[in-house]
Structure 1
Amino acid sequence: MRKCLQLATKAMLEDEVPVGAIVVYKGKIIGQGYNQCNSLNDATAHAEMLAITSASNTIGDWRLNECTMYVTKEPCPMCAGAIVNSRIEFLYFGCYDEDYGACGSKFEICGNVSLNTPAVVRGNLLAGESLALLQEYFFKKRQKKKEF
């Protein structure tokens, strides 16, 4: 999770929503990403999506069986769908997202046992640190709006 927080901080420094994600296989990071929607002009360039793509490229397969994802914030529905479709087995995340979270907060996609390949999900890992980054980012955004 510490690596995810470093990636989230990098996102914030690039004026992106501070979310970072890694994919781990047998104790080794095989993929990583941080939000880059603004810089790539791509609504799908979420940390989780980029980490999945990176991991798939590393192992040469879209199936990420036996892999674990760590991410600083509860994934949205798009990312949750990608996590399930890529067959990631375990998902650990930082803070919950009461508005858009798809791992128990608003929706239940990742751990939905009616799906063929649900992930085992656990939240609240270093949640305070993850939430603090998000709060700092959005506070600064609101301050910039007030300046205009």
Structure 2
Amino acid sequence: MVFGPIPNREYHEGFMRKAIEMAQFALASDETPVGCVFVHNGEVIGRGINEPCIMCASALRQYGIRAVYFGCLNDRFGGCGGVMNIHSDPGIDSTFPCYGGLFREEAIMLLRRFYVQENEKAPDPKPKKNRELKTEILPVTVTPTTGAPTNAAAAARAIAAAKAPVPQLAPIPTPVLGAQNATQKSAPVAATPLATPSIEQPTGSSKPSG
């Protein structure tokens, strides 16, 4: 489970604090406030800006990262519990433990501040003066079927998607070869809805998600 007890929490909080600082630096630079630090043998060996996404989570497995620690879930692109569980899915590459929730509220507020502020670097800047910074943060819940952590908004979207009618595509006519005056038969096409439900390098780290 991504959200739960974190072994040696105080040790990892120190590195997560450094990741939060990187996220704050990104926000001040009008970039998405996602920070990351790589830790090896108790030392930070790399820092970056911008919950690993699905592609990042796959790359972490291929590189043999020992563990990942992050702040808040990304319920659109998250690869460590937000949308998919890349870190724990069986496969050729070895899995890695993933721990979420370190400074979760602070990570969420950093992302919210980014989405209400105007970005002059954007190709088509949109006025956001009337946008309100929301401070209420919903608690994390766990779905009983998959155990994947989610929030009320994400759960509502999943329920709505499950209840939505499946679009029916028009049948594709298939010509019958042979007789000149033969009638045509139709092959029905079925539409299948898609369901969306510090990093430690061989030793310790952190990465807030968003």
TM-score, normalization by structure 1: 0.68
Equivalent in the alignment of 1:21: 36
RMSD: 1.9
Structure 1 residue aligned with 2:98: 121
CA displacement at 1:115 relative to structure 2: 4.0
Q: Is the 8 A contact 2:89 2:95 kept in 1?
A: yes
| 2:117 partner letter | K
Tell whether 2:161 aligns with 1:146.
Answer: no
Partner secondary structure for residue 110 of structure 1: coil
Which is strand-richer, 1 or 2? 1
Structure 1's 25 and 135: CA in aligned 2 closer, same or farther, altered over 3 A?
same
State the match for 2:17 in structure 1.
2
Confirm whether residue 87 of structure 1 aligns to residue 69 of structure 2. no
The one-letter code matched in structure 2 to 1:82 is: A
How big is each residue's C-alpha offset from its partner over 1:49-73, in whole Å with a ceiling of 9 and x where there is no partner? xxxxxxxxxxxxxxxxxxxxxxxxx
Find the aligned partners of 1:112 and 1:29 in 2 and give their Cα distance: 28
* In 2, Cα distance between equivalents of 1:147 and 1:11: 19
Amino acid across the alignment from 1:10: F
CA spacing shift, 1:29–1:138, aligned 2, 3 Å: same
For 1:81 and 1:10, the matched residues in 2 are separated by: 26
Structure of greater Rg: 2
Q: Does the 8 Å CA contact 2:70/2:102 hold for their aligned counterparts? A: yes
Bigger RCO of structures 1 and 2 (CA < 8 A, at least 6 apart) = 2
Q: TM-score, normalised by structure 2?
A: 0.49
Q: Distance in 1 between matches of 2:118 and 2:72?
A: 20
CA spacing shift, 1:9–1:86, aligned 2, 3 Å: same
Does the alignment pair 1:102 with 2:79?
yes
Gaps of 5+ in 1: 36-73
* Deviation at residue 33 of structure 1 after TM alignment: 0.6
Answer yes or no: is the 8 Å Cα contact 2:39–2:45 preserved in 1.
yes
